[in-house]
Structure formats: C-alpha cells, structure tokens
Amino acid sequence: MPFGTSMPPPHHDTPQHDMQGPELNITINDELRSFVDPLSPIEQAALERSLLAEGCRDALVLWRDTLIDGHNRYELCQKHGIPFRTVHNNTFESIEDVMLWMIDNHLARRSVSDFQRGVLALKKKEIVSARVAERPADEAGDADAAPDAGSPPWNTREDVARAARVSSNTISQIERIQKAATPELREAVRTGTISINAAANVAQLPESAQLAAVAGGRKELQQAARQVREQKSAARPRKEKEVVDPADELATLRSERAAMKDRLATLLTENERLKQRLVNAGLGAD
C-alpha cells in the first residue's frame, strides 16, 4: 500500500472526532509532505480507480488543521470532488512529534523502498539527536530519567540500519548520497533507475558529471558507477608479496612430495589388485 493510504496505529488515548472533509480548511505542510513518496503512475492510477469506484473509505488524519496521513488520497479527492472523512489526532506537542509519528508509520510499511526507509531512519536520528542535545545538562546526565518515545537507541549507524531494515553499509551509502548527490541523482535512486550502491559511487563525481550520467539514463549511470569503482580499485596500494621463510618453504615442499609418493604407492597397489582380478577371471593380461 503506498504512502498516505493507511490509518495510523491506534496507540493514542485522546478521542478522535470524525469530521466531514469539505467543511475543513486543511493545511499541507511541505516538510511533512516530503516524507511521503510520490506515487508511481501505476500506483496513482490504481488508487484513483479505487477512490472513484468505492469512495474514500479511510479517514484522513489531521493534527490541528495540518494533514499528517492521507496526502495522496486527499489530492485525488480534491481533484475529483470525492467526499472524505477526517479524524483529529491532537496529542502531539510539536511538529517534531508529528514527524516522528509519520516516520514510524512509514517505516512499518512493506511497500517503502530501502532507500526511502534509510532516508526516513536518518531523519529520525537527526530529530532524536537534536532533542538529546537540547536537554538540560542535569536531565541529560540523569540515568534514571524516563526516556521519551524517540530516545536512543538511535545514536549509532547500527541502530539506524536496524530500524530501516538494511545493512550498516547501505546506511553509509545513503548518507553519502544525501550529502553529495545532486537532486537529479537522488531522484534516480528514489525511482529505482540506479541502485543505492551505484549511486553512492556516482555521487563522488563532480556535479556536472553526475548530471550528465543521469541525463544519459540507466546505462550511462551504470557506466559512471563502474568507472568510479575501477578508479578506486586502481588507487588502492598493492599488497606486498608475503615473505616466506626458506626453511618453511622447504618443509612444505617435502611434505607435498611425501604425500605424492604415498598417493603413487596407493595407485600402484590398486593397479596390481585389478590385474590380479583379471587373471582370476580367466581373461589374462595383454
């Protein structure tokens, strides 16, 4: 199921009130909207067909007047004039609380790509780290203080990788893409035109080279990634040849020679046994 199409986890105690969508002034927060990947053309068409045939069955979720779940459905309902319901979840104290809730919501969905899960998990680490840094010194140092819902473990790359259900190496590659890749290259990763591993290599190129690779399509991107890998491999210092003690080498050769002699003796014995079997069978030997 694509982003924005499921109900939030029922873990909030405050009652949620059903309201009719058309009477509301719904606000779209661009930063929150960025957590929701755009639908592919196939997903867009499928959701549109479902809404036109069955209506908007699941309620949109609002925090105050800000939409926090159901962005794709809201856009299509607006486009076609389809009625929808809304529920309010006003238990959040800040926009950061909303972000953490949305991130956890999306991380739990199987349809989210590895790249998007990594991006979301890194965003959660950023929010949690900022909160920890803002704590008063006495509270931060109090080991008995009750941790909030977004507190560590979120302080290592392994924690982030575990939450995103990818490897630590993949998280490192996504970090590199986020820091060095052009928007065009990041979009190519998001849409699956290029793999995370390949994009992390292409992101090491100058911006102009990245843009040229993206413009050239999948094959050009793969070629650029391969060239970066080859350059890195050529730049690595070659391992020096291991120095072997002559005495050890001589002992190894003697051991191998003895093993070969034993093998030869075994084969000769087996050959004689077969010849004797032929004689006993009355066939003789030529």
Residue 4 pLDDT > 80: no
The answer to whether the peptide bond before residue 10 is cis (omega within 30 degrees of 0) is no
Structure letter (DSSP) for residue 206: -
| pLDDT the model gives residue 154 | 65
Model confidence over 100-109: pLDDT tens digits?
999 998 888 8
How far apart CA 134 and CA 257 sit, in angstroms, is 72
Model confidence over 26-74: pLDDT tens digits?
999 999 998 888 888 888 999 999 999 999 999 999 999 999 999 999 9
Give me the mean pLDDT over the 223-232 stretch.
90
Per the DSSP assignment, residues forming a β-bridge with 18 are 87
Q: Which of 135, 133, 129 is closest to 160 using CA atoms?
A: 129
